[in-house]
A and B are shown apart, each in its own frame.
Chain A
């Protein structure tokens, strides 16, 4: 009898300890191939570095990361999410680069019971009416960097702006955001073909329109082409160039080279931030990957550390979804941005800074801080969100 009891105790304790030792499963769906392929790697490198800084654990539990390449295609992303949530039992889905992919996979993942933590895509849909208790965005809302830049330029007395973006949803969001912030005159608004290579025709039109400044949102290779051709056309000297950080960050600056010097960006983080967390992050990242991190990597580093901090407060019990939601909503952690908190719609409230593209003393092209543009900036969609409480 005693043996049986002992055996039962052992058996039970092994079940209990097995549960405590069960790793937390993270589905990291991102774009690793094609033209946006370097962005997925940037996010993953940042995430892995963040995970390393927490000892490979979230809230004291081991973390298992399952990777998937969405190829920037919404249907592929959705299939991956279905597989990860249903057969791999991922409790968290993160890593998505592109908004259209996120839009396709967020709902099925949430419906299947996973938390979706966006490390990049800043959908307006989930910031407003569709806001969801288990959907959090650690990066930014798509419209905000443009809106902040528009308001800043208007406040500096800039009168005439020319604005350019690719003809796809995020491009339209970005220019809509800019126009919401900028009160002056828009002398030209151009939507280029997505993936366009040559901008000579557009540049000639810009020269003829003689604006005071040019705002552009052209992610990845499109931005590299545009900025190089802008400088070669001799426009840089007459018409200053403004953009959101992700059109002028370390994923594109090395390829743009001197052509980007003198351009301005609106940032919530840049490699020039001097708070201790940021300095350590940049140092560790350069030591491990031999390049300067971009805001993509910083957001993703923050995502991993935020998850750890939130899970620490509830003893790693991610299975208690209400407690996990509450922990995320009120989380405090050492962020590379200096300060960070979630708004009621689970999007960040954060400061924005103006940076100028310059050469540092090592000859690298970097974003140097030039002052603050906005304090505790919130997105315009938050007021449409009625978030169900965790209680």
Chain B
């Protein structure tokens, strides 16, 4: 493998990892803080892509589509929390899996009713649809660089908010011990709605950025959801640092696994890695609950 190719594949791995991180951040926080397994997280990703695609093609501006999509998915997340999912925090995981799996079916069928079964068109804004010359022998798609940049910025921002602000402290307190945090006067209810809406917005952001690269179609959230569950488990449930490290690791392992190994082994690489990491650290890389 030549040096430019190695750099390109590394960029590909990091870019995939960044996307996975945006998705997993919400999933892992909801899991860690509310003790809720939300399989419908992938549906919010799909919703982000669909809303962005429709609004962008209606108005002609990608940015408008992106902003509307983030707002809509955040609202959808908050609505889900208030209207339905808060009733399930104290129920068993099986009940949660059942209800959120049901939500997947509702979201998919709803999207099919509104947008139809044929994949939507979602073009890139002019100027971002080509590739950028980075090095001799290394051109990289401009939009993927944007994804990389946005993902890293949002990731750092999230890290700063959670690790360095008062709100972040409440969130972390909620994640390590919900009952004690509530007893110390943290408004747990508002934190829960906020975390849910923020997680949904991040999933929507990931969806709208994936839209121009991937097919915008019914059921697009489920394959990504599986990878995100892997990330969440490896990183340690509820841990933002863990999600970041695990997402980047999975992105790189998947990319290089596909290039260097045979197809059968390449598609297994991340699951082998997951098994190995869990054997070494059963609670994930950065466990939150002691």
Contacts and interface: CB of A to CB of B under 8 A. Distances in A.
Interface of A: 34-35, 37-38, 41, 167, 190-193, 195, 197-198, 200-202, 204-205, 207-208, 220-221, 224-225, 228-229, 231-234, 251-252, 254-258, 291
A208 B119 contact: no
B121 A200 contact: no
Contacts of B16: 198, 200
Nearest to A166: B263
Contact of A200 (B124, B215, B255): B255
Contacts of A221: 119, 214-215, 217, 220
A201 B217 contact: no
B112 to A, nearest CB: 8
B219 interface: yes
A38 B118 contact: yes
Contact of B119 (A190, A197, A224, A232): A224
Contacts of A224: 119, 214-215, 217
B189 to A, nearest CB: 36
A346 to B, nearest CB: 31
A224 B118 CA distance: 11
A16 to B, nearest CB: 44
B121 A231 contact: no
Contacts of B5: 204-205, 208
B80 to A, nearest CB: 23
Given A35-B219, A201-B255, A204-B12, A228 B212 contact: yes
Contacts of A256: 121
A197 B209 CA distance: 13
Contacts of A233: 131, 139, 141
Nearest to A233: B141
B102 interface: no
11 contacts: A35-B217, A200-B16, A201-B258, A224-B214, A232-B131, A232-B213, A234-B141, A251-B118, A252-B119, A254-B119, A255-B121
Nearest to A191: B263
A220 B266 CA distance: 22
Interface of B: 2, 5, 8-9, 12-13, 15-16, 112, 116-124, 129-131, 139, 141-144, 210, 212-220, 223-224, 255-256, 258-259, 263-264, 266-267
Given A193-B258, A204-B9, A255-B120, 13 more contacts: A38-B118, A192-B263, A198-B16, A201-B256, A205-B259, A220-B215, A221-B220, A228-B212, A229-B141, A232-B131, A232-B141, A232-B212, A233-B139
Contacts of A38: 116-119, 217
A204 B112 CA distance: 34
A379 B197 CA distance: 56
A37 B121 CA distance: 17
Contacts of B15: 200
Contact of A225 (B2, B129, B143, B214): B214
Contacts of B223: 195, 197
B79 to A, nearest CB: 26
Contact of A229 (B9, B213, B218, B259): B213
A204 B13 CA distance: 12
Nearest to A365: B121
Contacts of A205: 5, 259
Nearest to A294: B118
Given A200-B144, A234-B131, A254 B121 contact: yes
A198 B267 CA distance: 12
A28 B25 CA distance: 44
B214 A37 contact: no
A234 B130 contact: yes
A319 B138 CA distance: 66
Contacts of B213: 198, 225, 228-229, 232
Given A41-B117, A204-B8, A193 B263 contact: yes
Contacts of B210: 197
Contacts of B130: 232, 234
A37 B119 contact: no
A255 B118 CA distance: 8
A232 B139 CA distance: 10
Contacts of A202: 258-259
A190 B215 contact: no
A391 to B, nearest CB: 45
A234 B218 CA distance: 28
Contacts of B144: 200, 232
B98 to A, nearest CB: 19
Task: Please indicate which of the listed interface residues A190, A229, A231, A255 has the most CB atoms of chain B within 10 Å of its own CB.
Answer: A255
B266 A232 contact: no
Nearest to A34: B219
Contacts of B118: 38, 251, 254-255, 291
A167 B263 contact: yes
Nearest to A195: B223
B140 to A, nearest CB: 8
Task: Please indicate which of the listed interface residues B5, B129, B139, B264 has the most CB atoms of chain A within 10 Å of its own CB.
Answer: B129
Task: Please indicate which of the listed interface residues A41, A167, A200, A228 has the most CB atoms of chain B within 10 Å of its own CB.
Answer: A200
Contacts of B214: 197-198, 221, 224-225, 228
